[in-house]
Amino acid sequence: MPINRDKACHKLLFLSLFIVLLALLYPRTLPARSGDLILTIGVYENAPKVFISESGKPAGIFIDIIEYIAEKEGWRLRYLLGTWGEGLDRLEKGQIDLMPDVAYTGDREKIFDFHKVPVLSSWFQVYARKGSGIRSILDLGGKRIAVLERSVQHDAFVRLSAGFGLSTTIIPLPDYQAIFDIVARGGADAAITNRFYGTMHAKKLGLEDTAVIFHPSDLFFAAPKGVNKKLLDAIDINLIKLKRDTESIYYQSLKRWISEKVPFKLPNWVKATGLVLVVVLLMSLLGSMVLKRQVNMRTRDLQKTNLFLHASEQKYRELVMLANSIIMRWSRDGQIIFLNEFGQKFFGYTEEEILDRNVVGTIVPDKESTGRDLHLLMEEILANPQKYERNINQNVRRNGERVWIDWTNKVMLDEQGQIKEILSIGSDITDRILSEEQIRKLNDELRRNAEVLEQRVAERTAELVIAKDQAESANRVKSAFLASMSHELRTPLNSIIGFTGIIISELAGPLNLEQKKQLKMVRGSSRHLLNLINDVLDISKIEAGELEISSEKFSMRNAVNQVAESLIPFVEKKELNMTVEIAPEVEVIYGDERRIRQVLINLANNAIKFTEEGGVKISCRRCDSSIEVEIEDSGIGIKNEEIDRLFKPFKQLDTGISRKYEGTGLGLSICKRILEIMGGHIRVKSQFGKGSTFTVILPLNREGKDDEKENPDH
Amino acid sequence: MTKKKILIIEDNEQNLYLTTFLLEKQGFDVVQARTGLQGLELAVSQKPDLILLDIQLPVMNGYEVAGRLKQDVETRSIPIVSVTSYAMAGDREAILAAGCEGYIEKPIDPDSFVAQVKSFLPGQERGGVV
């Protein structure tokens, strides 16, 4: 049976009377105990949670519960009937003490106080005429939706439909009854009520529930802000007890108002349906408990997430504001929209000074020190920011100091995809740029220096080439001079030695003994002079690298024998012994015979010269790949420290020995160098005062080995 | 045995006298030339058995003289012995390359000089070079 407006008016009249009666009679009939609290409860039509029953009394789950608690706590209750909206107004103004069935929201908490244990959990559901075809929220697009004005579901639905991009016509109405009526009449396409009301009333009006369910919420008694905390605590304490006891008034009330029909006349099939509905409702209640738990958990999670988000946003703000990077947002026309604290300090502006000003003329100079036009560059960046996602340019501080910034530019687009603004993050790289410049300068300097050096080296090389040419030319001149000198000296010596020899041999006539003796002295001196000339010429040739060594086949045996023979007169003169030992395998070798003889004569001469007693032994043998000639004497010997200096040119001239033993001091030096040029060497062993052994080592070339069996004699 | 004729080409008067003296004492017939050109003429006209050639001659040096003597059919077969003072590296090679049969180093040894010269005469056993 539909409840119509007339009936509601009757009820209102009746309730007013009832309230007046209560006000007049109660204090007398039921004297208040000391401390009794009189509470005014707002009542409105929201069956089965709160409503005026057929008998005209306030009824419903919230009423049952608050009456039970009031009795327990010794409160006295008064009811003030009105619409939902009137109720909220009165509560806000403090005209009533409690408003039942108020869903908790953050906004409401600002103006009302709530207790903590929810009385019920509910959600909102969309109801429509049977066969409306509304199956999901999307089907509500373009529809007229009736909602309770100023209600949570009103706001929640507006947000929900906006989230889905739906355009709906909202019809706000003062109570649920009106909402269902207008839908039943076809004045609206769908109604939104809480699930309790909908379950109870939809069917009667030929409406059905749709699958559109949203905004689960906890329902409480709400009290005026900051007025009576104790009252709410008492409600909580009682609710906890009530909810714990399954036989309590709480569950009885739920059973009564949700499972038992409100006194309506219903056909049997409706009763049967009602029974089923009760079961369903109980199930849904159970489900709602579970849901409530989940919602609570979700809420806690959300709160945590919110806290986290808040904290992270805070962090982000701090990060942006205090980051050691310049963070700037600027508009398409170049105006600075945001500059973080670091950026402000860096460039030397306060926020007020820099905001809304153009980048050019503030932090961007007209021209870079390199000459680049930054005006143009900024225009280019604005025209094509993607191209300049990474850009290094010069900037300027307020004090005029030029700095180099490495910018990362990000484009922020608006809904239409147009460039709204540019986010630029910059790092000061002035030091790096300056260092690089310094390095470049140093490199340039180094390069210049290197070029100068190279130039000098080239010049020096050229000078040296000239010097070398001059030296070489001087050397050639020297060699030519020596050759010429040698020739010029030999020519007169040729006559001296030649004619002395002729006279001594008495080819030109007989001589007396004295004449002969004196002429022999002339000849000796001439020969010595010739030796000196030869030695000087040799050492000059050696030092000029001009000494040439020939390689001809000759008999080593013959050469050694002939050298020894030529020395016999000198050995005999000093009354010394001379022994020659030539091993049988020493035969023909390849080499410069004249030079080998020169070396052997020189060494043997020395041996004789420095030996006063004993004798000289010349021995020759073949080793694996060399010929060794050993010249051993029993002469004065050489001190150890003298041996190293022995082969230095003019050595003998350095010492006092030259007085006693004639010689240029060039002989050993020449021998050593000649042997080295031949690939051989000289070895010396000596004991001071006992004698010396000089060993000549001559390498054998292959030809020498091949021909070793050949008879050396011509 | 007929006297062997030796042509001496030498610009130094004393050396020319020295070698002439030594050779004549040993019974050689000596022809003297004081320049290269004169030497070439005498070599053709006198047909010596051997030519003693100084290298360092004015105007035309010994190498050129030797070369010309060896080019001329008439003088080609006459042995040439160079008497020289080995001034520069490569002198010996140059002397032999110019066509000389041998060389005697200056200053000469009066005791062995004639024996050395003889060894280069045709039909003689060639002696060692000192």
Q: Is the pLDDT of residue A704 over 70?
A: no
**DSSP state, A612?**
S
Determine if residue A637 is left, alpha or beta; phi over 0 gives left, psi from -120 to 50 gives alpha, anything else beta: left
Q: Mean pLDDT over residues A314-322, rounded?
A: 68
pLDDT tier at A15, thresholds 50, 70, 90: low
Listed as own residue / partner, the contacts of A131-135 with beta carbons closer than 8 Å and 24 or more positions apart are A132/A189, A132/A190, A132/A208, A132/A210, A134/A189, A134/A190, A134/A210, A134/A212, A135/A210, A135/A211
The confidence score (pLDDT) of residue B67 equals 93
Tally of CB atoms within 10 A around A671:
23
* A288-292 contacts, C-beta under 8 A, 24 or more apart: A288/A120, A288/A121, A288/A122, A289/A121, A291/A121, A291/A123, A291/A216, A292/A118, A292/A121, A292/A216, A292/A218
Q: Assign 3-state DSSP to chain B and report helix, strand, coil percentages, each to 5.
A: 35, 20, 45
Task: Check residues A316 and A218 and name the one with the higher pLDDT.
Answer: A218
Q: Is A486 part of the contact surface with chain B (CB cutoff 8 Å)? A: yes
Q: CA of A594: which chain B residue's CA is closest?
A: B130
What gap in Å lies between CA B84 and CA B108, rounded to an integer? 9
pLDDT computed for residue A13 by the predictor = 52
Question: A6 falls in which pLDDT band (50, 70, 90)?
Answer: low
pLDDT at site A512? 93
* Angstrom distance (rounded) from CA B41 to CA B20: 19
- Of A570, A555, A679, A682, residue with least CA distance to A631: A682
ipTM beyond cut 0.90: no
Q: How far apart are CA B119 and CA B99, in angstroms?
A: 17
Chain B positions with Cβ closer than 8 Å to A: 12, 14-15, 18-19, 21-22, 25, 56, 85, 87-90, 106-111, 113
**Stretch B109-123: mean pLDDT:** 89
Indicate if the pLDDT at residue A164 is higher than 90: no
A60-111 pLDDT, tens digit per residue, is 989 999 999 998 888 899 999 998 889 999 999 989 999 998 888 888 888 9
Is residue A393 within 8 A of residue A413, CB to CB? The reply is no
pLDDT at B86: 64
Residue A26 confidence (pLDDT) above 50: no
pLDDT of residue B69: 94
Nearest to A497 among B19, B87, B107 (CB): B107
Mean predicted lDDT score pLDDT of chain A: 82
A181-195, A433-447, A657-671 — which is least confidently predicted?
A657-671
Which one is the CATH code of B5-119: 3.40.50.2300, 3.40.50.300, 3.10.20.580, 2.40.50.140?
3.40.50.2300
A491 touches chain B (CB under 8 A): yes
Model confidence at B32: pLDDT above 90: yes
> Which residue, chain included where needed, has tokens 């996602």?
A389
pLDDT over threshold 60, residue B87: no
Rounded distance between C-alpha atoms, residue A145 and residue A151, angstroms:
14
Q: Which of A561, A548, A549, A550 is nearest to A712 (CA)?
A: A561
Decide if A495 touches B, using CB distance below 8 A. Answer: yes
Q: How far apart are CA B75 and CA A281, in angstroms?
A: 156
pLDDT for A391-404, tens place per residue? Answer: 888 899 999 899 99
DSSP single-letter state for residue A471: H
The architecture in CATH of the region A429-547 reads Orthogonal Bundle (1.10)
- Check CB contact under 8 Å for B18 and A494: yes
State pLDDT tens for residues A551-573.
Answer: 888 899 999 999 999 889 889 98
Which tokens is A226 given? Answer: 């900051």
* Contact criterion met (CB < 8 Å) for A501 and B21: no
- Greatest Cα pair distance in chain B: 41
What's the CATH fold of domain A326-428?
Beta-Lactamase (3.30.450)
Cα gap A151→A175, rounded to integer Å: 10
Residues of chain A with CATH 3.30.450.20: 326-428
Percent of chain A residues past pLDDT 90, beyond the cut: 21
Contact A637, A606 (CB under 8 A): no
Q: Which amino acid is at A708?
A: E
Which CATH number fits the domain A549-706, given the four candidates 3.40.50.300, 3.40.50.11540, 3.90.245.10, 3.30.565.10?
A: 3.30.565.10
The region of weakest confidence among A221-230, A372-381, A641-650 is: A641-650
Residue A226, pLDDT above cutoff 50:
yes
pLDDT at residue number B106: 84
| Residue spans per domain, chain B | 5-119
| CA gap A592, A595 in Å, rounded | 5
Read off the amino acid at residue B76.
R
User: Hey, are the CB atoms on A494 and B56 less than 8 Å from each other?
Assistant: no
d(CA B65, CA B50) in angstroms, rounded, equals 14
Q: What is the model's pLDDT at position A27? A: 41
The alpha-carbon gap from A517 to the nearest alpha carbon of chain B, in Å, equals 17
Q: Which residue of A478, A486, A488, A495 is the best one to mutate when testing the B interface, meaning the one whose CB has the most B CBs within 10 A?
A: A495
- Residues contacting residue A321 through CB under 8 Å, at least 6 positions apart: A340, A341, A342
Q: How far apart are CA B8 and CA B93, in angstroms?
A: 21
Tokens standing for residue A664: 């240029």
Q: How far apart are CA A682 and CA A698, in angstroms?
A: 9
Cα distance between residue A533 and residue A541, in whole Å: 12
| Residues A685-703 pLDDT 10s | 988 888 999 999 999 865 5
Contact A151, A158 (CB under 8 A): no
Reply yes or no on whether the pLDDT at A511 is more than 50.
yes
Q: Rounded to whole angstroms, how far apart are CA atoms A77 and A53?
A: 17
Is the distance from CB of A378 to CB of A405 less than 8 angstroms? no
* Cβ contact A577:A614 at 8 Å: yes
Q: What is the mean pLDDT of chain B?
A: 87
B-facing residues of A in 502-541 (CB < 8 A) are 502, 505, 507-508, 526, 530, 541
Which residue spans of chain A are classified as CATH 1.10.287? 429-547
Per the model's pLDDT, the better-predicted residue between B119 and A644 turns out to be: B119
Q: What is the pLDDT of residue A503?
A: 92
CA distance A355 to A226: 43
DSSP state, A245? -
Cβ contact A631:A604 at 8 Å: yes
| A493 at B interface, C-beta within 8 A | yes
Q: What are phi and psi of B95, to 5 degrees?
A: -65, -45
pLDDT at A222: 92
How far is B105 from A661, CA to CA, in rounded Å?
A: 27
Q: If pLDDT is split at 50, 70 and 90, which confidence band does B1 have?
A: low
Q: What residue has token string 């019974």?
A: B27
pLDDT at A442: 92
A507: nearest CB among B15, B25, B85 = B25
Q: In this predicted model, which residue has the larger pLDDT, B8 or A609?
A: B8
E strand or H helix at A358: none
The reported pLDDT for the residue numbered B51 is: 96
pLDDT of residue B128: 42
CB contact at 8 A, A104 and A220: yes
Nearest to A61 by CA among A43, A49, A78: A49
Whole-angstrom Cα distance, residue A636 to residue A648?
Answer: 20
Identify the CA nearest to A627 among candidates A696, A705, A555: A696
pLDDT class of B72 with cuts at 50, 70, 90: very high
Contacts of B85 in chain A (CB under 8 A): 486-487, 490-491, 494
Q: How far is CA A368 from the centre of its chain?
A: 30
Of the candidates A484, A490, A505, which has its C-beta nearest B110's C-beta? A505
pLDDT digits (tens, 9 = 90+) for A356-413: 999 888 899 888 888 888 888 888 887 887 788 888 888 999 998 999 999 988 888 8
**pLDDT (0 to 100) of residue A90:** 92
- Residue A376 is encoded by which pair of tokens? 């143009």
For residues A573 and A164, which has the higher predicted lDDT (pLDDT)? A573
A492: its two tokens? 């007169």
Structure tokens at B11: 């610009």
